[in-house]
Amino acid sequence: MNLDIDRILYADMQNALRHQAVILYEDERSLLLQDISSGLTYCTALDAEAAANMIGHIKDFDILVSHDEYCNQAIQQCFHITYENCCYHCVYTGHKRFFVDLPAGFHFAFVDERYMEDVIALYRKEMPELANVAYMRKAMDYGLIGVFHGDELAGFMGVHEGGSGSMGMLEVKDCYKRKGLGSALEKAVINMQLERGKIPYGEIFIDNTASLKLQEHVGLTIGDRLTYWFYK
């Protein structure tokens, strides 16, 4: 299946194929693949018949990401579950790196385990289920970008699933907000993804209007179709 028909919607599947993915099933109208490092399974189909043919090749999964209503219906009928989250894809479609300017007294550096406690405390407010040492260590191993004021961590952002997933984990301490640090961090992560040959994209919950506005401000393209997350 040609994923270039919608590069915004299929940014996650294209990145998985650039990383370490195995194709579980493919024909001209459907695609099923799994990212080896994250374990995430992705599927898409262009019509109900293609979805029905593809669904039988899903043997097991922890998280299954669907890209259309055809797959949604097939998944619900086969596994008797409904999706728990749905997201917009936000993609940087440019090729040039950003020039990133920080306020006086701030600088970028990769975050290491010396700041683990600080990172987990900040991220726990947003995603408590992911705010643990194992998950954040994977983010640090790939490259968790921090913005520092002196030796103090003011905020950070990275890439989910050890680098194979979407940009995210954007956190800025309350005392450092409204200084443009969020936009600066996102531009720095976009630059990192471009350098590593990845498509810079994020997944934004449909009700997160503040984040959607930030994506538009930075210059990302927001898709007009949703992805749907099923958890088994």
- As a whole number of angstroms, the distance between CA 217 and CA 183 comes to 8
CB-based contact 158:109 (threshold 8 Å): no
Both ends of the chain: CA-CA distance in Å? 26
DSSP string covering 14-69, please? HHHHHSSEEEEEEETTEEEEEETTT--EEEEESSHHHHHHHHTT----SEEEE-SH
Same structural domain for residues 59 and 111? no
Same structural domain for residues 193 and 98? yes
Residue among 166, 163, 157 nearest 87 (CA):
166
Same structural domain for residues 26 and 85? yes
Provide the residue type at 120 as one letter: I
Residue 164's pLDDT band (boundaries 50, 70, 90)? Answer: confident
Residue among 130, 129, 126 nearest 210 (CA):
126
Same structural domain for residues 215 and 145? no
DSSP string covering 150-175, please? TTEEEEEEEESGGGTS-EEEEEE-GG
| Residues recorded for the chain | 232
Same structural domain for residues 61 and 109? no
Same structural domain for residues 111 and 192? yes
Same structural domain for residues 148 and 183? yes
The answer, as to whether pTM is greater than 0.85, is: yes
What is the number of domains present in the chain?
Answer: 2
pLDDT single digits (tens) 183-224: 999 999 999 999 999 999 999 999 999 999 999 999 999 999
CB-based contact 221:93 (threshold 8 Å): yes
- CATH no. for residue 112? 3.40.630.30
- As a whole number of angstroms, the distance between CA 222 and CA 1 comes to 23
Q: For the beta carbon of residue 227, count every other beta carbon within 10 angstroms.
A: 24
pLDDT single digits (tens) 66-118: 999 999 999 999 999 999 999 999 999 999 999 999 999 999 999 999 999 99
Residue among 177, 113, 117 nearest 147 (CA):
177
Same structural domain for residues 67 and 1? yes
Same structural domain for residues 104 and 81? no
CB-based contact 60:218 (threshold 8 Å): no
What pLDDT shows up at residue 232? Answer: 86
pLDDT single digits (tens) 6-44: 999 999 999 999 888 999 999 999 999 999 988 999 999
Containing domain of residue 153, as a range?
93-198
Classified as helix, coil or strand, 148 is strand
Same structural domain for residues 45 and 55? yes
Two tokens, residue 54: 């593809």
pLDDT single digits (tens) 96-109: 999 999 999 999 99
CB-based contact 167:201 (threshold 8 Å): yes
Same structural domain for residues 104 and 80? no
Same structural domain for residues 210 and 187? no
